[in-house]
Structure 1
Amino acid sequence: MITNDAIILGMLAAILGFVFYTAGSDHRFWKRFYRFVPALLLCYFLPSLLTTFDIIDAEQSNLYYVASRYLLPASLVLLTLSIDLKAIANLGPKALVMFLTGTLGIVIGGPIALMIMASIDPGILGVSGPDAVWRGMTTVAGSWIGGGANQTAMKEIFSVGDQVFSAMVAVDVIIANIWMAVLLIMAGNAKQLDARRGADTTAITELREKVETLQKKHSRIPSLPDLMLIAAVGFGVTAIAHAFADQLAPWFQANAPHLARFSFTSQFFWLIIIATSLGVAMAFSPASKLEGAGASRIGSVFIYFLVATIGTHMDITALRDSPELFLLGAIWMAIHAGLMLLVAKLIKAPTFFMAVGSQANVGGAASAPVVAAAFHPSLAPVGVLLAVFGYALGTYAAWFCGQLLRVVGGP
């Protein structure tokens, strides 16, 4: 087994490079391959093979710790840095309603799904401690509301055991990608679906024109000063978040230990909350202009390295041993999907808003642009915009979902 972190990091970088190189290839084989196999799935799956076949020793590696403590908060800052609340509001109320409906479906869907499964299989509530099923579900909530960054945040905040986490990562990836495939099919039939609901799609045309204008106005080739400023903002705010977290967690532990139930005594909880909050605040400062130089892209690079390190802890055989968790995830996603379809029908929202609003939650910035681009290539940034909003909301909403799951699932 390889134990040298420098070698493991190089292997993970090579895997990510291979995935993105082939995903962008014009070769017929790769185009067909990625039509059925999402690139994000490979970013989890391929690193998991290194552990499955005992090539590396993930348990002894410090890469996950570095990615979760340094790259994760920096990525949250850089991703939320590009939030333009006015632009999100200009998408129209239906876009925001559908996005928030998706968030609500995940927050309430988790506890409901757990109650349904408990009535079918009471043993699902029989495990307590770090490997309790409800704890593992908090990581899925984080992933399905914000993305990989929020998933990792929930793992640390709720002290999720590696065994249930491995199973839940598999549930997350498989269920989310099945739903994404359904959304892409819906995108291909959007005109018929919109006509059937009587949805007004003129806003989509106006939105497409606005996005194209915005791209031309702010996009630029990043200079070295741009890249250094992006690094300074990302890691500088991360340092501030660490400094405050180092003080707040011990203070709550000493003066209000009863708040441990709400994660107030967790250093990692404060690290994520402060980094996210400062990132949102800086979106109203001149630092937001760094998005034109690719701040969110660099944040996404950090996220994918985090995803790869998570993949090294994923047990791809977990679903074979725990089919009940797969059913639990399917019920959860069905609640989310059902609520999305119901609200879209009631308010006559365009299929675009429904699909992108859902994927901005479930898939995050990694796949929301893919679904948006399925409607029109120039609309891909809209998926990013809503997904970035999901990153900001995900930490708070997933934490609240975790508290609801704690009530249902026990200690």
Structure 2
Amino acid sequence: MATPTDAASTAVIQNDIVLFGLIAATLGLIFWLSSGPTPFWKKFFAWVPALLLCYFIPGIYNSVGLIDGSASGLYNPIASRVLLPAALVLLTLTIDLRGVLRLGPKLLAMYAAASLSIMLGAFVAFWIMDLLHPATVAGDTWGGMAALAGSWIGGGANMLAMKEIFAVDETTFGQFVVVDVGVGYIWMAVLIFFANRASAIDARTGADTRAIETLKERLASYQKEHERIPSLTDLMVIIGIAFGTVGLCHAIAGPASAWFAQNVSWARQVSLHEPFVWVVVLSTLIGLGLSLTRARTLDGAGASKIGTLFLYILIACIGMQMDIGSLADKPWLLVLGLIWILVHIALLALVGRLLRVPFFYFAMGSQSNIGGPASAPVVAAVFHPSLAPVGALLGALGYATGTVAAYVVGVVLRGMAGQG
């Protein structure tokens, strides 16, 4: 954890306890204003989603030097390793599993199309930048792109795997981390913005939203049936299940990942040597198991609301990693990333149009790749809190496919760079 004596940081606030207080107060103010205390704020939040501000305001704090998100322990380990799996447990135990399964194969088709579009986008972006600004793709830029492909198809573990496999220079790798954060998180913000307008988008495209609407109605009906004023016992049980499961998952994840790393030859190819993969998968599976028991009735006492609260803290912690000013240091690499993600968006939108899928499918296909299991549940929860596990499941799938897909991207780009 960052401390007041942390010499590596020059931020005004370097104490994580003070930083957490700032983040909590910021979230509280945003939600109070979004409740419409005045006509101005009512109109303001009709256009600007509160979730977007929960994401960007901490980013502004980081960019102006008020805080140093990278030096803080709030995101890792607190938010990503504790609150995220706790949120997954609470949001998953309230899920209607049969209703989710009725969402059908088109959701998986959009996920696969998103992965392929990211691979193709890398090749197109490299080719275009080679024509527009050859210096941008000179040297080992191809290796940095392979690492970024690992992140955008899988996650951080896959990105680091590509760095080691292709021996990417530290400077190049750091530059693509900036592209990853800048372009990826901006796209996440765009998805959050349009998620609040999903109904209008689906009406315009003629998408069949019956499966999603039916699921939402079933969830609302179930919650209304079991809704009650939570007692202290209810809240203690909810917290006990959430953090007890998190502790159990971490206890299993360490030995399990170590055993697979030592005894299973293909474990690293699907990231089973990474403890966090196990934490995400186990917390989701335990939550799904609980959804088949009486524990699901805890949603009536606010289980999903507490899970959503954890997600909002995670959103703010993700936002405070972003340095808006650093994006200007390497403008051409940023252009490369923008071209790349625009190709992904265009191809995925085309597939979505052909399949006539709801915007939720498009958003999940994209964010489960670009953002992974840490942020896909966040975007899914904007559509409905109980849809968060759908994002988690698809995001976790990227850990299994990201290394292989990114390796293919690296090999092809190395050939395009004339270094094969």
TM-score, structure 2 as length reference: 0.76
Flag structure 1 segments of 5+ consecutive residues without an equivalent. 143-153, 345-352, 373-382
Q: CA-to-partner distance for each residue in 1:222-246, whole Å, 9 max, x for gaps?
A: 2221111111111111111111112
Retained in 1: the 8 A contact 2:223–2:299? no
User: Following the alignment from structure 1 to structure 2, what is the Cα–Cα distance between the partners of residues 271 and 225?
Assistant: 27
Task: Indicate the residue corresponding to 1:350 in structure 2.
Answer: none
User: For 1:317, what is the secondary structure of its paired residue?
Assistant: helix
Instruction: Compute the displacement of 1:211 (Å).
Output: 5.5
Flag structure 2 segments of 5+ consecutive residues without an equivalent. 1-11, 131-136, 164-172, 368-375, 415-420
Retained in 2: the 8 A contact 1:107–1:141? yes
Kindly report which structure 2 residues correspond to 1:78-117, keeping only aligned pairs within 5 A, or say none: 78-89=90-101, 95-117=103-125
Instruction: Compute the displacement of 1:256 (Å).
Output: 4.2
Q: CA-to-partner distance for each residue in 1:134-176, whole Å, 9 max, x for gaps?
A: 444454456xxxxxxxxxxx22564496653443233234334
Task: Indicate the residue corresponding to 2:140 in structure 1.
Answer: 126
| Structure 1 stretch displaced more, 278-287 or 241-250 | 278-287
Query: Is residue 272 of structure 1 aligned with residue 280 of structure 2?
Result: yes
Retained in 2: the 8 A contact 1:75–1:300? yes
Task: Indicate the residue corresponding to 2:293 in structure 1.
Answer: 285
User: Following the alignment from structure 2 to structure 1, what is the Cα–Cα distance between the partners of residues 340 and 323?
Assistant: 18
Query: Is residue 67 of structure 1 aligned with residue 79 of structure 2?
Result: yes
Instruction: Compute the displacement of 1:270 (Å).
Output: 2.1
**Number of residue pairs matched?**
371
Q: CA RMSD in A?
A: 3.3
Retained in 2: the 8 A contact 1:110–1:401? no
Kindly report which structure 2 residues correspond to 1:133-282, keeping only aligned pairs within 5 A, or say none: 133-141=145-153, 154-156=155-157, 158-159=159-160, 163-178=175-190, 187-188=199-200, 193-194=205-206, 210=218, 213-256=221-264, 259-282=267-290
Q: 1:21 to 1:103 in 2, by over 3 A?
A: farther
Query: Is residue 390 of structure 1 aligned with residue 398 of structure 2?
Result: no
User: Following the alignment from structure 2 to structure 1, what is the Cα–Cα distance between the partners of residues 399 and 114?
Assistant: 9
Instruction: Compute the displacement of 1:99 (Å).
Output: 2.9
User: Following the alignment from structure 1 to structure 2, what is the Cα–Cα distance between the partners of residues 72 and 250?
Assistant: 22
TM-score, structure 1 as length reference: 0.77
Correspondent of 1:3 among 2, 9, 14: 14
Over the matched positions of the two proteins, sequence identity in percent amounts to: 31
Retained in 1: the 8 A contact 2:88–2:392? yes
Task: Indicate the residue corresponding to 2:359 in structure 1.
Answer: 355
